[in-house]
Amino acid sequence: MAVIIDGKAVAARVKARAAKEAAALAERGVTPGLAVVIVGSDPASRIYVNNKKKACQETGIYSEEYALPEGTSQGELLSLVERLNHDPKISGILVQSPLPGGLDEAALVEAIDPKKDVDAFHPYNVGKLMQGRQIFLPCTPAGVIELLNSANVEIAGKNCVVIGRSDIVGKPMAMLLMQNNGTVTICHSKTQNLAEICRGADILVSAVGKAGFVTGDMVKPGAAVIDVGMNRDENGKLCGDVAFKEAEKTAGCITPVPGGVGPMTIAMLMQNTVTAAKLQKGLC
């Protein structure tokens, strides 16, 4: 049976590290600040935003929330982002996805000052990541690396398979694995022989958003399996992309859903916000 990687425990350590750094900054008169912008009333988004606010309180980060109505215009959002760009109390700006239809999310991301882009979605920061000279690490992929390190999984020289090619997880995940000297294959909807490719993976990361997509026979014995998926099964229960009970029998280590990657995303956001505060004050 696989070792279960406890994302809650690892996230607690990351937040404790961020809190220690925030306290050291506070002694120098610097308080990291995070502004979260949420538009509309998506229930999942509200939960995420509340969790981020709670994490800020736990780590000594000042937070502001801007909860805007569904009918907020693109111009109003751009004006808010511009104001936050120039607000010295705010180290990081996060616009919660998804946005209501009709709003241009890419334009909003590009409007954020790259030094305050704590999601690492701005093209400037994406380019820095491609070059291996990143300031901020994208939160979910960075959290995956932390989880692998916590389980003493060696990445260098290993066959790494990432299922999914999104800008938020799949692509940056592949880059971080490659920066850690893994040999990376990205699989997607047009990939042929997907199961066979997955069976060759020493490290398998799934980020496709389909419940039970990765079955037990797709997992190499002893592999590290990281489940980024957040789905609901036929009973409405939260689950990942991986058929956990099947994969657990074969994998060497595996993340559960919930309690795996999810807590890490917010923990890494806290770390990025502290880093942003240092950067803006010339302390890193």
For 90, 103, 138, 221, 231, the CA distances from 85, given in Å and listed in that order, are 8, 20, 19, 49, 34
Rounded CA gap, 224 and 203, in Å?
5
For 13, 199, 216, 230, the CA distances from 190, given in Å and listed in that order, are 38, 18, 21, 22
Of 15, 96, 220, 278, the catalytic one is: 96
Burial zone of 166 (CB within 10 Å; 0-12 exposed, 13-18 middle, 19+ buried): middle
Rounded CA gap, 199 and 214, in Å?
11
Of 52, 158, 171, 278, the catalytic one is: 52
Which residue in 229, 226, 223 sits closest to 209, CA to CA?
229
96 carries an active-site annotation: yes
Burial zone of 6 (CB within 10 Å; 0-12 exposed, 13-18 middle, 19+ buried): middle
Which residue in 238, 171, 249 sits closest to 205, CA to CA?
171
Cα within 13 Å of Cα(20), Cβ side: 6
- Angle of the 170-179 helix axis to the 139-150 helix axis, nearest 10: 40
| Count of positions (residues) in the chain | 284
Of 15, 115, 117, 119, the catalytic one is: 119
Token representation of residue 124 = 């400037």
**Run of H or E residues at 205:** strand 203-206
Active site (catalytic) residues:
52, 96, 119
